[in-house]
Structure 1
């Protein structure tokens, strides 16, 4: 096949979505932890050579990452070879990982010696060491207390696994067998993704595949622009507060002004509180389409049009303003482990602002957070086990 038509574009998009589903299904069936098997706190994506997500699982995993841009993280590795698999959980390396328990891996997909795309994903690990079991607590005050940080490095190079990474993990976490079992599941997942994508590329041909991937992103962008273009121009403000039990004990203000101009929107978080002394900070790095601040927009767009394709193209008409040193863009070194609670508030203020622009068409906001309980038990072999429940 040498050209992409509207019909073949839909076929390609479905094939790629099925490949992402296969990655997610493999991960769920082979992972060891309840985080993956029960709560689906993981992601799998297929991204362009530049790092833009163009295919996501349609049934499994966390929906936050559908429009993720892996580009800054991919750039941390100088030279990719066939058979490489890379790993990191460092939130300050590319600002893709959003707290230390999230271990990301990515694998280049080659076809006829040419780089075609990447298969990527993450798992929330039950524990990565640090000051407290499970590595997360609002009482922590700096990222150094939140466990092991793995800089971007090749976990597998040319098909040969680097044993030092596994040794490093084993020496620094409380549940090494579970962590390494989950890591093996991640490796299996990206290997499945690689095989699926090579089959798709073989079917379409590399030039048509690369053209089609860009067309998938363009289609999602056009859909998003059509939705946004129907919203009245103007500025709409909304703010809410996250309960804060740091020594100061004051609620943290998350403020948003939504600017709608034609087919584009700006989410301006100016007016949000300075970064906190607890771990509710968000490590966005100021990236204007960071998933933690764009997830609410994705939900709104999908509510307005459930036929919307969810990928990085969906977010092209949007940008966020994230003042440095605030709770939505904390400085390096800040504690960030409980950033999900603050992210929930960014979703609420996004929904609240859009509700002013479209009265009666936007659903009510979520409750504003979640309750997470970790239960430590002792297995018959005497080793600790922490299944996570509640949310």
Structure 2
């Protein structure tokens, strides 16, 4: 077979990235929910015909690892000839059957055909505000099984040869408390996969299907080569980590780094929970992939070849390989626990590559009720931002999303107040103590939401509320994540996990996210940096004296 010239390869490979980004832009600009068009709780991607990820758009990094697994399960469920045809679009959200995360995250996938040959898939995933279940917003800390969390869709055909299947559309409409938002977000996702599929078909026809497929395979092989190159100077051996959690459980991991393979062993962990904090095996693999990418080649492109050297071991029936019908609504907290556990395990062995611990929680904040101005049902779904750990040579970033959420944004105050029945009284950096070091941890945030109508509810899922972000190389631990509710009569209540808490007009929800851990001995921090910290409100004069030895 003749060699493909490097220029053509580069053009095709960069075209894949451009198409994925175009899909992302199309979905962002046409979605109805702020959680998608403002926060960007979404992701887009392209897989090859077998379901291996070939390219991805912006958005949540963890979602890149979801799309390939969803497509592979669609291929399993529709393996008979004629079951997958041009113009079809499939929908899935079941974490026990290809959906990977939880029922609110809905995947749409479209096969791409050229001359009746399946050459690729376009896919996207986005958080839908409500998919039924026992509470508005579909996320309940009281859920005991997945049936209580909403509508399950396991590789269901939504559109057949370009025409919507009316009965499926009716089922979707009947199983959400916010059908108008659901429909708007659904068609935004459909537009994105259709647009991407058209672009891919054009690309394959321009260069020829055979050349296109070879270029995709070459791109996969390049991903593997980049990873193996990055592993060359990594330390060899078996590394272990145990970490206590907020609820008293202990999570354990063993990471073994070999010449051409990295093995992450999570088998020795607690059995699956009766509540909604379980993680599917696919979800655990996603967490391991994110950590693996962080310590190998974080700046390089990601595709199916990137993760060929990674092997993940789990035990069925555990928190990290939950069996049906386990509830998984708050899966994201244990996904980020796995990610953070692996990074902590390796941080002391890779000090040039990894920082101290970050606030490491999605800090999912869900507030819903009736909008006092319009009478319409609203549901705010807001992952919160927090502080990252210091690292060798620099302070940690303040007010950033966790590693799970990546390229996403907080909802602007103006949009929040217009679309939701709330006032945002305060949004600023959190000045609670923590994260001191030669290089300090970044600060978390403090946000105050004032409730405007009786009968509003609060649901939240925070971890690192008791066990703070860890310091590194002598730095101090960061500060915790939590929510404080202040009632109109002055009573104060503190939460990290709560579901459907009823609030009334005038109550205030104080969100507090943590600072990252410090890096290095605080006494080695420069006087100029400490004075800047005091000036900018990162540390009080009293704490500057205590941790940095400064005399004011």
1:185 maps to what in 2?
188
Unaligned runs of 5+ in 1: 244-249
Equivalent in 254, 264, 267 of residue 264 of structure 2: 267
SS of the residue 2:210 aligns to:
helix
C-alpha distance in 2 between matches for 1:29 and 1:180: 15
Equivalent in 380, 384, 388 of residue 387 of structure 1: 380
Deviations 1:273-325 (A, max 9, x none): 1111221110126x8x831332222222234xx2x221121110001001111
Equivalent in 110, 114, 132 of residue 111 of structure 1: 114
> Is 2:295 the partner of 1:300?
yes
Equivalent in 90, 93, 104 of residue 86 of structure 1: 90
SS of the residue 2:90 aligns to:
strand
Structure ranking higher on relative contact order (CA contacts 8 Å, 6+ apart): 1
C-alpha distance in 1 between matches for 2:18 and 2:61: 16
- Pick closer, same or farther for the CA change 1:317–1:98 going to 2, 3 Å: same
Q: Do 1:73 and 1:93's aligned partners in 2 also have CA atoms closer than 8 Å?
A: no
1:327 maps to what in 2?
319
Q: Do 1:87 and 1:105's aligned partners in 2 also have CA atoms closer than 8 Å?
A: yes
Q: Do 1:240 and 1:345's aligned partners in 2 also have CA atoms closer than 8 Å?
A: no
2:62 maps to what in 1?
64
1:256 maps to what in 2?
253
Q: What is the 5 A alignment of 1:1-391?
A: 3-57=3-57, 60-67=58-65, 68-69=68-69, 70-78=71-79, 79-94=83-98, 96-243=99-246, 250-284=247-281, 290-303=285-298, 306=299, 308-379=300-371, 382-391=375-384
SS of the residue 2:275 aligns to:
coil
Unaligned runs of 5+ in 2: 385-552
Larger displacement relative to structure 2 (16-25 or 60-69): 60-69
TM-score, with length taken from structure 1: 0.91
Deviations 1:183-238 (A, max 9, x none): 11010000110111112112221000000101111000010011122212100112
2:540 maps to what in 1?
none
Larger displacement relative to structure 2 (16-25 or 346-355): 346-355
C-alpha distance in 1 between matches for 2:157 and 2:22: 24
Q: Do 2:96 and 2:323's aligned partners in 1 also have CA atoms closer than 8 Å?
A: no
Q: Do 1:235 and 1:259's aligned partners in 2 also have CA atoms closer than 8 Å?
A: yes
SS of the residue 1:193 aligns to:
helix
What is the RMSD of the two structures over their aligned residues, measured on CA atoms? 1.8
Deviations 1:149-187 (A, max 9, x none): 123221110111101112111111111110111111010
Looking at CA atoms only, which structure, 1 or 2, has the larger radius of gyration? 2
Q: Do 1:280 and 1:342's aligned partners in 2 also have CA atoms closer than 8 Å?
A: yes
SS of the residue 1:75 aligns to:
helix
C-alpha distance in 2 between matches for 1:174 and 1:241: 38
C-alpha distance in 2 between matches for 1:26 and 1:3: 35
Q: Do 2:86 and 2:161's aligned partners in 1 also have CA atoms closer than 8 Å?
A: yes
Larger displacement relative to structure 2 (79-88 or 367-376): 367-376
C-alpha distance in 1 between matches for 2:165 and 2:63: 28
**How big is the shift at 1:80?**
1.0
TM-score, with length taken from structure 2: 0.65
Q: Do 1:50 and 1:71's aligned partners in 2 also have CA atoms closer than 8 Å?
A: yes
Which structure features the higher share of helix residues? 1
Larger displacement relative to structure 2 (337-346 or 75-84): 75-84
Runs of 4+ in structure 1 off by over 6 angstroms are none
**How big is the shift at 1:383?**
2.7
Q: Do 1:19 and 1:193's aligned partners in 2 also have CA atoms closer than 8 Å?
A: yes
Deviations 1:61-91 (A, max 9, x none): 1111334443233221232111111111112
- Pick closer, same or farther for the CA change 1:131–1:293 going to 2, 3 Å: farther
Q: Do 1:97 and 1:104's aligned partners in 2 also have CA atoms closer than 8 Å?
A: no
- Pick closer, same or farther for the CA change 1:153–1:389 going to 2, 3 Å: closer
C-alpha distance in 1 between matches for 2:288 and 2:147: 24
Q: Do 2:226 and 2:297's aligned partners in 1 also have CA atoms closer than 8 Å?
A: no
**How big is the shift at 1:367?**
1.6
**How big is the shift at 1:140?**
1.5
C-alpha distance in 2 between matches for 1:138 and 1:241: 21
C-alpha distance in 1 between matches for 2:139 and 2:19: 33
- Pick closer, same or farther for the CA change 1:364–1:203 going to 2, 3 Å: farther
